[in-house]
Amino acid sequence: MAQGIYKLIFKNTNKVYIGQSIHIDKRFATHLNELKNGTHSIKLQEAYNLYGIPDLVILEEVLEENLDTAEERYIQLFNSVSNGFNSTHSASGGVSLGENNGRSKYSNTQIIEAVELMVEFPDISLKVLANTLNISWDTIREEQRQLLIDEMNNKNYIDLQPEEQQQQEEPQPQKEETQSEKEFNILNYKK
């Protein structure tokens, strides 16, 4: 089994995906399985949906301790983030949601919409949010966790309102909504 840096080439495009593995053959089999099941990262899944099964090319055999550096070098060489199917410039691209995460199944728009709904309807159930937005409960939970962390740190998670609307307004008394009313409101939000 080869260990090193590889690229995935899709027919009818000059764009590539660069990857690394200590078992390239096994990693390629995992790529194919995820692609066939529709569970791969957004960029690679879209490439597969358009171009079909990619070809595997081993670029260089590399010692395990040098894999990250070599992968970053090839990603830059092929410009495979801006003009290819890689989502980050390195294997340790950090934890992020949406299109900044190569493993994400959700777009930035879906993530922002989830955050907006959590802010607008703070008491709505995770199940209703997940079903309304067609996003997994885990993603909703992670966004909710991040909102709480940012609130504790007195930071705005996302600027949801124009500056002129961010001024403090006097709270108006509101009647308490039932769970059914909240679900109705959130469903109408999507329309």
Q: What is the pLDDT of residue 11?
A: 92
Q: Kindly state the DSSP code that residue 182 receives in the 8-state scheme.
A: H
CATH number of this structure's domain 4-88, picked from the four choices 3.20.20.80, 3.40.50.920, 3.40.50.11540, 3.40.1440.10: 3.40.1440.10
Residue 185 CB neighbours (<10 A)? 14
Q: Which residues contact 154 (CB under 8 A, 6 or more apart)?
A: none
Instruction: Give the count of beta carbons closer than 10 Å to the beta carbon of residue 74.
Output: 22
pLDDT (tens digit, 9 = 90+) per residue, 8-45? 999 999 999 999 999 999 999 999 999 999 888 888 89
| DSSP-assigned letters across all residues of 105-137 | SS-HHHHHHHHHHHHH-TTS-HHHHHHHHT--H
Count of Cβ atoms closer than 10 Å to residue 80 Cβ = 22
Spans of all domains in the chain: 4-88, 108-164+177-189
Spatial separation of the C-alpha atoms in residues 179 and 46, rounded to whole Å? 38
Please state, in angstroms and rounded to a whole number, the distance separating the CA atoms of residues 93 and 22. Answer: 19
| Cβ partners under 8 Å of residue 85, min gap 6 | 8, 10, 15, 16, 17, 43, 44, 47
Tens of pLDDT, residues 83-123: 999 887 766 544 445 555 555 566 667 767 777 777 777 77
